[in-house]
């Protein structure tokens, strides 16, 4: 009579988002979401195949909050700067959910849109397709980690413990042996709190854009004079051949 369909994907995503913002990512639980809507946990399975789909939906939600700027006549790097700034703004609105985006940019239309604009600008800048793809992904996911690791943030923490945690962290760094880690001790303050958050993000974005411009200058396949081989083989996965299609 009052409301015929209270439940929907969107309603649950909205609740989940409020929950992350309030109590952190691990508070997002099928049972809590159900309880919140006065419903059985099983009711959620009408809308999400499993818990991962709820996380997928959350990431999509964050990405849909990115207000992609319209293309204009300015130089490509200025437009990239604005696009990345919009991306960061969307993530910063829900810092504890930001980590969900890290591996999910290419899993929803909003993510495709951001990536496509990024690729478009890089292509216009002269990047080859492959280089543009790698570079775009790297720029975006770097910014996700910049948001996640913003100095002075402690993930999943409540307001009470927050300040205390920061102070403790700074005290720990300051108390280190200066003969072993002189620069860490000297930078203890800057490493544990952000004096100017806006500048922090401005610096991050402009460092990334500067990297893009420098990469663009180099035509292709930069033969670095690094003597060392980069990286090692990943530890081999020795899992029995179970039934396939575990991930759809």
- Binders of a second copy among residues 80 to 99 (CB under 8 A) are 81-82, 85-86, 88-89, 92-95
Shorter beta-carbon distance to a second copy: residue 34 or 208: 208
Is residue 75 a contact point for a second copy (CB under 8 A)? Answer: no
Report helix angle 9-23 to 51-64, nearest 10. 80
Residue 94 contacts which entry, DNA, a second copy, none (Cβ below 5-8 A, type-dependent): a second copy
Question: Burial level of 76, CB count in 10 A (0-12/13-18/19+)?
Answer: buried
Query: Can residue 31 be called a binding residue for a second copy (CB under 8 A)?
Result: no
| Integer Cα distance of 172 and 159 in angstroms | 20
- Of 4, 46, 219, 239, the one binding a second copy by CB under 8 A: 239
Q: Which does 171 bind (CB under 5 to 8 A by kind): DNA, a second copy, none?
A: none
Q: Which does 175 bind (CB under 5 to 8 A by kind): a second copy, DNA, none?
A: none
Stretch that binds a second copy, among 7-15, 36-44, 56-64, 165-173 (CB under 8 A): 165-173
Of 28-36, 38-46, 56-64, 176-184: span binding a second copy (CB under 8 A) = 176-184
Return contacts of 203-207, CB within 8 angstroms, 24+ apart.
204/88, 204/142, 204/143, 204/146, 205/81, 205/84, 205/85, 205/88, 205/143, 206/81
68 near a second copy, judged by CB under 8 A: no
Name the residue among 23, 22, 3, 107 with its Cα closest to residue 58. 107
Among 1, 5, 38, 245, binds a second copy (CB under 8 A): 245
For the beta carbon of residue 179, count every other beta carbon within 10 angstroms: 7
Site stretch for a second copy (CB under 8 A), options 7-15, 30-38, 53-61, 164-172: 164-172
Cβ(187)–Cβ(151) below 8 Å: no
- Smaller CB distance to DNA: residue 42 or 234? 42
DSSP-assigned letter for residue 49: S
Q: Which does 22 bind (CB under 5 to 8 A by kind): a second copy, DNA, none?
A: a second copy
| Shortest spacing between CB 3 and DNA, in angstroms | 10
Sign of CA dihedral 227, 143, 190, 192: negative
d(CA 247, CA 1): 40
């Amino acid at each position: 009579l009052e409301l015929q369909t209270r439940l929907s994907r969107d309603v649950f995503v909205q609740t989940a988002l409020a929950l992350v913002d309030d109590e952190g990512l691990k508070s997002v639980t099928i049972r809590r979401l159900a309880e919140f809507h006065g419903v059985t946990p099983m009711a959620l399975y009408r809308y999400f195949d499993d818990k991962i789909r709820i996380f997928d939906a959350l990431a999509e939600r964050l990405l849909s909050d990115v207000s992609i700027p319209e293309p204009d006549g300015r130089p490509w790097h200025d437009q990239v700067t604005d696009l990345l700034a919009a991306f960061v703004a969307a993530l910063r609105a829900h810092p504890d959910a930001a980590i969900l985006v890290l591996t999910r940019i290419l899993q929803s239309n909003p993510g495709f849109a951001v990536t496509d604009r990024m690729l478009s600008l890089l292509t216009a800048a002269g990047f080859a397709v492959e280089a543009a793809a790698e570079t775009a992904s790297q720029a975006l996911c770097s910014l996700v980690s910049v948001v996640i690791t913003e100095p002075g943030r402690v993930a999943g923490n409540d307001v009470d413990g927050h300040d205390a945690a920061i102070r403790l962290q700074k005290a720990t760094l300051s108390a280190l042996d200066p003969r072993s880690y002189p620069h860490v001790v000297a930078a203890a303050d800057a490493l544990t709190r952000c004096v100017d958050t806006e500048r922090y993000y401005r610096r991050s974005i402009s460092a990334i854009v500067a990297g893009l411009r420098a990469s663009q200058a180099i035509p292709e396949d930069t033969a670095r004079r690094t003597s060392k081989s980069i990286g090692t083989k990943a530890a081999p996965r020795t899992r029995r051949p179970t039934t396939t299609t575990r991930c759809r």
